[in-house]
Amino acid sequence: MLQQFSLKEKIALVTGATHGIGMALAKALAAAGATIVFNDLVQERIDNALKEYKAAGITAHGYIFDVTDEAAVTAGIAKIAKEVGVIDILVNNAGIIKRIPAVEMSAADFRQVIDIDLNGPFIMSKAVAPGMIKKGGGKIINICSMMSELGRETVSAYAAAKGGLKMLTKNLAVEWAEHNIQVNGIGPGYIATAQTGPLREDGHPFNTFIVGRTPAGRWGVPEDLQGPAVFLASEASNFVTGHVLYVDGGILAYIGKQPK
Ligand code: NAP
Ligand code: GCO
């Protein structure tokens, strides 16, 4: 039974996996047997991450390229194919958020969020798909969000991107099903990483708010996403496609607490 979850002999590319959720997912895929490849924008961060992977007993391969730069992505994927092998599993994890009220947000800021969080996964998926098709199949996991379903003040660009990413997931899933490529999403709840650091500061009203809004009563940690990622990367999910697996401690099932 557990063999179905094995990723032995698979090559997994996790974008933006120098820390945070990306690194936790890469470590989980490595523990299940996969060879890990990741990218980032800055060589120093790649080098530090390589040391951290090594300390965890993982031989990872780090590459510099921006997920929004189609030419750089194409060159990066070709280099990876030569030096490591053809990608079997792609995790579109790289992403940014800008918390700015909509009336104050410049179109340039809005565009940048859409570019990294939505165009990036499209460019990456398009770049790995031909190799997967030749190999006879593959797995793509898009890191979505609560904001794929819900809105809140200040995150219009992020919600637009992550909502779009949910639909990109469904569309690529149906478009590439005939090639045995499963495309799914993971929708993390509120996870303690650098991205949410400003919201978790002591005394920040959002901190109390989100813990109360999460039936599990806590912030998630990147490790909460590891099991779901291995499942969606493995043969255990071969008939699961176009699905977003929300890992949110119950947020999306919850109407909220009545006031006392
Ligand atoms: P994070 O700590 O900010 O990590 C994001 C990563 O993406 C960083 O490694 C960053 O690289 C990389 N990145 C950004 N732009 C890039 C680009 N253009 N090309 C390549 N890499 C790029 O955030 P996180 O919390 O781990 O989040 C990871 C993913 O999960 C994001 O897509 C995020 O939206 C999503 N998510 C997070 C939460 C949460 O609560 N934390 C919840 C739901 C979804 P640098 O370090 O070099 O900037
Ligand atoms: C915010 C948060 C979120 C989370 C996450 C939720 O400001 O509301 O940063 O958007 O990071 O994506 O799932």
Q: Any idea which ligand is nearest the CA of 141?
A: 1
DSSP state, 242?
Answer: S
Structural domains of the chain sorted by starting position, each given as residue range(s) with its CATH number in brackets:
2-191+229-247 (3.40.50.720)
Q: Which ligand is nearest to the CA of 146?
A: 2
Backbone angles phi, psi at 181, to 5 degrees: -105, 120
Give the contacts of 224 (CB within 8 A, at least 6 positions apart).
188, 191, 247
- Contact indicator for 247, 48 with CB cutoff of 8 Å: no
CA separation for the pair 73, 35 (Å, rounded) = 19
- In order of 3, 148, 149, 208, the CA distances from 252 in angstroms are 32, 11, 8, 18
Tell me the pLDDT tens digit for each residue of 155-190. Answer: 999 999 999 999 999 999 999 999 999 999 999 999
Q: Is the CB of 21 under 6 A from ligand 2?
A: no
Q: How far is the CA of 172 from the centre of ligand 2 (A)?
A: 24
> From the CA of 97, how far away is ligand 2's center (Å)?
8
d(CA 39, CA 205): 34
Q: What is the dihedral of CA 67, 70, 72, 73, to 10 degrees?
A: 60
pLDDT attached to residue 84: 98
**pTM, 2 dp:** 0.98
pLDDT, tens only, 186-245? 999 999 999 999 999 878 999 999 999 999 999 999 999 999 999 999 999 999 999 999
Atom of ligand 2 nearest to the CA of 97: 9
- Residues 192-201 have pLDDT tens digits of 999 999 999 8
Cα separation, 230 vs 34, in Å, equals: 10
Substitution site in 98, 145, 148, 154 for ligand 2 pocket (most atoms within 8 Å of beta carbon)? 145
